Amino acid sequence: MARLPEGTLMQRAAAALAAVCARTLGRVYGSRVAVLAGGGDNGGDALFAGARLARRGARVTAILASFRTHRAGLAALRAAGGRVVALTPADSGGGSGGAAALPEEAVRAVASADLIVDGLVGIGGSGALREPYAGLARLANDAPGIVVAVDVPSGVDASTGCVPGAAVRADRTVTFGACKIGLLVDPGASHVGALHVIDIGIGPYLPEPGVTALTAADVADRLPRPAAESDKYRRGVVGVVAGSDRFTGAAVLAVGGAVRGGAGMVRYAGPAEPVRLVRARWPEAVTTILEPGDDVSGVGRVQAWVLGPGMGTDDRAHALARSVLDTGLPTVLDADGLTLLARDRSLLRPNLLLTPHAGELSRLLGVPAADIEARRLEHVRRAAAELGVTVLLKGSTTLVAEPGRPVRVNPTGTPWLATAGTGDVLAGLAGALLAGGLDTYDAGCCAAFLHGLAAHVAAAGPGGATEAAEAVLTTMLDAVAGAGTAGRADVPTAPISAQDLPDALPEALRLLESPAKMEE
């Protein structure tokens, strides 16, 4: 800002914002646009964009939420023929009930708009939206017009993705300079809609990001690949200690993730019944029946372990878990293994990848699960710092944290994954990558990436897999990098089951290779 004439960055932002609005409207002339303007520069962007649309013939009404309004922006809007409705501090959104206490003129302008520009607050917002901002946000959400958020949907914390109160649910978000963390991490991410990242020339001046995402090419580069002289041992042997007589499926699913994740060999150890089922579904796995009280000394050599899914949490499970962890090998610790760790921190070792969902992390940190869901980034960072290991927090946005490294956000998730047993597949997959030589951080990030991609492939079915995967691999990541727009692929999808994931992994891996090749 110091190098450029005053207002240059804002003009770049407003021009790009107006262009997105115009494209969204299709026909600008005669369209109705409501601009919600807060008291800061976010409101300034919105007002300048409103002025540009008004000059192209749109009927623009600006609703000023604060009596301190961006002066030049307001002047530009007025000069272009825009109308202005100023709220007073007494105007409120009428609590959660809607817009009862907002002036009729404001309510009408928003309700009848073809397009609503949300310029209430951007990166300067703090805490829950206050009135009348909150009431305007609710009004916009209830209105039939398309909502375009400026920089950040108002009410979403740009730095964390937290949504402490009312917030705008946008159809599109036009963000400037860099993708904000809050646009990628839930609950904020689910307020964004299609994402446009606009380059306004500040990239070279930005600091190192605290949160990063892997691209398809990054993942393809990291995945272990067999060389000509590889053999099954060199490719990595993964040991799976999971399942019980009660939870047999966990064994089958974790082994499936490991087999399809590219392990040279999978050794499964557990009670007789899950062993029988594993052999039936995955005859390539080498199995060992564990009698009650056995440890893993008879399982054979492995390079990494998957420990925990469905194994139970009684004293025998505890002793078995300890025998695995005492090998000192890299280990994915999941599900019941995490419950054991929450009870007995002496199980903690270096070289662990913990894969909790919010409930499991809640037991590990002694924090209510709802708080973890609401402040995912803070809690995954805290868990990694407190436990000194890699933590992959599952759920609507998967995050991977390790002390001293940026948090990685996984861009490939889909809510179709919210079904029982998918976490077991993830644990097996991460174990295969650990055995293949990745460190716990990369194994966690790459496993989450492939797991999400496999879910898209499975949900879209053979006819839509390529299109669905391309939407994830190119559009989303291009947008984050400022080179395109992210939205969902328009591919019909159907529910998936956990079993579908190992079967979809080969196709997901093949599709992953194509954009990597293109970039080369």
Ligand X SMILES: Nc1ncnc2c1ncn2[C@@H]1O[C@H](COP(=O)(O)OP(=O)(O)O)[C@@H](O)[C@H]1O
How far is 331 from 284, CA to CA, in rounded Å?
21
Asked if residue 298 binds ligand NAX (CB under 6 A), the reply is no
How far is 65 from 71, CA to CA, in rounded Å?
14
Among 138, 394, 408, 456, binds ligand X (CB under 6 A): 394
SS (H, E, C) 406-420: CEEECCCCCHHHCCC
Nearer to ligand NAX, 122 or 182 (CB): 122
Q: Residue holding tokens 């978000």? A: 173
Strands 115-119 and 146-150: parallel
Known binding residues for (6S)-NADPHX are 41-45, 122-128, 133, 151, 250, 310, 357, 424
The site that binds ligand X (CB under 6 A) totals a number of residues, namely 18
* Binding window for ligand NAX (CB under 6 A); candidates: 120-128, 283-291, 320-328, 462-470: 120-128
Give 399's strand partners: 393, 409
Residue 305 structure tokens: 């372990």
Instruction: State the binding partner of 46 from ligand X, ligand NAX, K ion, none, CB within 5 to 8 A by kind.
Output: none
Among 4, 79, 126, 497, binds ligand NAX (CB under 6 A): 126
Asked if residue 261 binds ligand X (CB under 6 A), the reply is no
Among 31, 248, 422, 440, binds ligand X (CB under 6 A): 422
Asked if residue 420 binds ligand X (CB under 6 A), the reply is yes
Among 177, 421, 444, 502, binds ligand X (CB under 6 A): 421
At residue 329, φ and ψ (nearest 5 deg) are -80, 155
DSSP state letters, 346-373: GG--SSEEE---HHHHHHHHT--HHHHH
Phi-psi region at 395: left, alpha or beta (left = phi > 0; alpha = psi -120 to 50): left
How far is 13 from 49, CA to CA, in rounded Å?
8
* Binding window for ligand X (CB under 6 A); candidates: 74-82, 145-153, 192-200, 417-425: 417-425
At residue 303, φ and ψ (nearest 5 deg) are -100, -20
At residue 20, φ and ψ (nearest 5 deg) are -65, -45
Provide the 8-state DSSP code for 405: S
Nearer to ligand X, 303 or 422 (CB): 422
Asked if residue 499 binds ligand X (CB under 6 A), the reply is no
Contact of 320 with 439, CB cutoff 8 Å:
no
* Binding window for ligand X (CB under 6 A); candidates: 37-45, 139-147, 325-333, 418-426: 418-426
Among 311, 340, 380, 417, binds ligand X (CB under 6 A): 417
Instruction: State the binding partner of 426 from ligand NAX, K ion, ligand X, none, CB within 5 to 8 A by kind.
Output: ligand X
Nearer to K ion, 120 or 457 (CB): 120
Contact of 147 with 154, CB cutoff 8 Å:
no
Asked if residue 362 binds ligand NAX (CB under 6 A), the reply is no
Strand ranges for 146-260 from DSSP E: 146-150, 172-176, 194-198, 211-212, 237-241
Name the minimum Å distance from CB 395 to ligand X: 5
Nearer to ligand NAX, 20 or 512 (CB): 20
Contact of 150 with 115, CB cutoff 8 Å:
no
Instruction: State the binding partner of 421 from K ion, ligand NAX, ligand X, none, CB within 5 to 8 A by kind.
Output: ligand X
**Contact positions with ligand NAX (CB under 6 A) in 58-87:** 66
Asked if residue 130 binds ligand NAX (CB under 6 A), the reply is yes
Using CA atoms, how far residue 239 sits from 31, 390, 443, in Å, is 63, 19, 15
How far is 361 from 321, CA to CA, in rounded Å?
18
Nearer to ligand X, 59 or 191 (CB): 191
Name the minimum Å distance from CB 85 to ligand NAX: 17
Measured between alpha carbons, how far apart are the two ends of the chain, in Å? 35
Which residues contact residue 3 at a Cβ distance below 8 angstroms, ignoring those fewer than 6 apart?
none
Instruction: State the binding partner of 114 from ligand NAX, ligand X, K ion, none, CB within 5 to 8 A by kind.
Output: none
**Contact positions with ligand NAX (CB under 6 A) in 3-62:** 9-10, 13, 38-43, 45
Instruction: State the binding partner of 154 from ligand NAX, ligand X, K ion, none, CB within 5 to 8 A by kind.
Output: K ion
Contact of 170 with 149, CB cutoff 8 Å:
yes
For ligand X, the binding residues (CB under 6 A) are: 335, 357, 394-396, 398, 413-415, 417-418, 420-424, 426, 451
Q: Which residues bind ligand NAX (CB under 6 A)?
A: 1, 9-10, 13, 38-43, 45, 66, 121-130, 133, 150-151, 176, 200
